[in-house]
Amino acid sequence: MAEFKKPVHYLQTDKKWSGIMFSNHNDPKQTIGSSGCGAASFAMILTAFTGKAVYPPEIAKIIVDNGYRTYNNGVDWGFFAFAAGKYCLDLVRNDSADEAIKALQKGALIVASMGSGYFTKSGHYIVLWGLDEINKQILVNDPNSTVRTRAPYDLFRREGRMYFIFYKKDQVQNLQKEGDEVAKLMIDDPEQAWKINAARESIDELAARGLLNDPEMHKAGLEKLPDYSMEWLSIVLLNRIAEAAGVRKRV
């Protein structure tokens, strides 16, 4: 039976940040307390995976600054793909509660978008972090409650709208090391250097279409590229190098 570790539980109603405005059109009535469930949920997951405290206001600012705060309904689903890319997490998006359960058994943490019912009257994000497999319940951190800590599998089958399943990458990714490696490769191997430079237009095309944001879309991008073994590595490295140099903002 899998072992589960409860992540930090942030409440959007915590008085330390509940009154902070969370709006894309300067509406003071829109605050973290009123609509910050998505920000609080991802902050919990990022804190768990990095081991460093990341608080809801920080995530809320990133959401607004990058255009993922909707006018009235909180956080756009697209934010989670953006966040996975920004923080080097693996993401699988799925609308199946049964797939979410399987993912939890493998150590994933999940932001669940819930429809009306037990957790919300309209829409709400919560964190799924473990299972009570004997009683067939999913263990939950609800950013708007300290009481709703679990619910039956069947409830998620009925009320879950989408599951954003996050995994911590197996390998530690080091931007400087990758940059050094690709620079050396370009010096040592002119043929590979040509391939890397040829990938630049593909990088721009993929970034413009948002394909670099979502791991689920990588294949769609790869299918449109020349069949070179180095090509995808080139895209990833060049995008990170450009970001580090300030040439490109991660999209």
CA-based torsion, 208, 212, 214, 216: positive or negative: positive
Q: What is the pLDDT of residue 188?
A: 67
Q: Taking the model in full, what pTM does it have? A: 0.69
Which two structure tokens, joined as six digits, stand for 69? Answer: 């705060």
In the chain, domain spans: 32-168, 175-244
Q: What is the pLDDT of residue 3?
A: 85
CB 19 within 8 A of CB 150: no
R_g (Cα) of the chain, nearest Å: 20
Q: Which fold has domain 32-168?
A: Cathepsin B; Chain A (3.90.70)
Does pLDDT of 62 surpass 60? yes
Looking at 142-239, which runs of residues are DSSP E strands?
Answer: 150-152, 160-168
Does pLDDT of 69 surpass 80? yes
pLDDT digits (tens, 9 = 90+) for 113-132: 999 999 999 899 999 999 99
Does pLDDT of 105 surpass 50? yes
